[in-house]
Structures are given as structure tokens and as C-alpha cells.
Structure 1
Amino acid sequence: MRTVLLITFWLTSLVASAQTLLLFGGKDHSEFLGCINCNGYSNNSVWNEYSTYGNSYNSKSIWNEYGTYGNEYSNYSPWNPYATYPPVVVDKDGNFYGYLTANEYNPKRATFKLALIMCNNYEEIREDVSEWEDILF
């Protein structure tokens, strides 16, 4: 399974690396939640467990299962398939790449491989973000 994820992510990163993909949450999507395709050494990366956005205890982290943006029942979480305000994925120029959401029926759901890997494996990822960072980068 991890081999498949590695190959999938490698192929995804070839396409996604051209743009830095940023995550914004909240009702008006004004809360910066980190970079989803930056490596784990970046202070803005959701894959850096020591950063604001990768730390599972930080209120701005999508990996904080008790926080606004990581709780499966929060209206602002990508992991809640019924969330009204899931985070958006945009690049530095503000181009919209879709919503990071577990809602498979959302017509504006981000469907690039990294977003799908995150949504399909978020429970396992949040158990050990650094392990996944090692796998993905």
C-alpha cells in the first residue's frame, strides 16, 4: 500500500511542484492553514510536525483532531464530509484548485492526487505526520 502511495505521490509531485499550494480555512477562507505540497522543512508546511500547521496540537492545524480545522465534526474541517466551509486550496496567485474535503459529492472538491491521498488517509496521517512526510518527500 505504501509503495503505491509513494509512486502516486511521486507522480503527483511532478505536476503539483510547479505551484505552491496553500490551504485557507474559516467561513470566509481568510485563515491560513499551511502549505500542502511544501516539504517538511518549511515553516508553513502541514508536513512539518514542529510548525504551526503540522503540529497536531495547534489550533491552526488540520491534523489537530480536537481543533476547528481538524475535527471530523467541525463545519470547517476537510475531514467532515458534511462541512459547509471546508478549506480551499489556492496557489500564491489566488488560483482556486478546489476544496480540500472528504465530501466526494462536492462538485468543487480538489481532485488532484495529493488532496485525495490526504482525504483518504487523514486518520493514519495525523497519527504520525513525520512518517508521512518522510514517505511523501
Structure 2
Amino acid sequence: MRLDLAHVGTPEQQLGLSLGTVLVYLRSALTARAIADGWRDAAVLAQALSPAVTGRRPLVVGPSTVSALVRLAGVPQVIAAAEPGRAATATRPAVAPMVRLRVGPVTWEVCDATAYSCLLRAWRQAARLLGDHPTGDED
């Protein structure tokens, strides 16, 4: 996770939040706070996730390695849903449970509690940073 706040205190202020290979741009603390609150509300669902999914390769974080750029504004609706796991069969591998969070037009599929906690922490830090530096968008 990486946070970059640019043009602080000006109408052009924006926060770049790198989450793995996704770069999210936010301008308003209202937006970041709505997202952080939605993620917080999904904590009960995240309790069913495994502590950590093994076998994943850590990703380099930074604006030069992003594969998607998302701009979020306004007060997006955050909808959380639990996706139950599935046992392995002779023809299908097992699938671990996940939590699906829809933030406005973007859907995040969170596979373990470590990822959930990290993403929740990132949204909270974004809300805090932008809340310390409000813009005219929040009047």
C-alpha cells in the first residue's frame, strides 16, 4: 500500500492510493470516509476468511507498476457480500470463501483476513489524510 497526497490545500488536491497493482485517485475525505466506513461494516463478513492465503507472490507497489487506474468521487455506495467457499470435487478444485465489496462501480474480491485488514487500514489512512486537508469539494 502506498499513499501520495499532491497539491495539498488547493482545488487540485488529490490522493493517489496504490493497492497492489491498482491505483485509486481520491479528492475528497467524504469519498474516502464513505469507503472506509463500508469496509468497516464488512468486518463481520471478513471474520469467515482464512487468516492468509499462501502461495501468492507479493506485488511491487507503486505508480509505475499499476495495471488499473480508478477515480472515485462523490459518496459511493459500498455493498458487501460473503461468498461461501466450495469443497473440492473430482472435477473442480476447492475454492476458499471470500468477501466481495462493491465500491461504486468497482468490485473488490477479498480472499483472506490479512488482505481485508490491509485494505481497511489503507482506506482509513486515506480518509484521515484527506480529512486533514479538506478542499472546496466538501463544502
Under a length normalisation based on structure 1, what TM-score does the superposition of the two structures give? 0.28
Which structure is higher in strand share? Answer: 2
Under a length normalisation based on structure 2, what TM-score does the superposition of the two structures give? 0.28
Higher RCO, Cα 8 Å, sep 6+:
2
Structure whose CA Rg is larger: 2
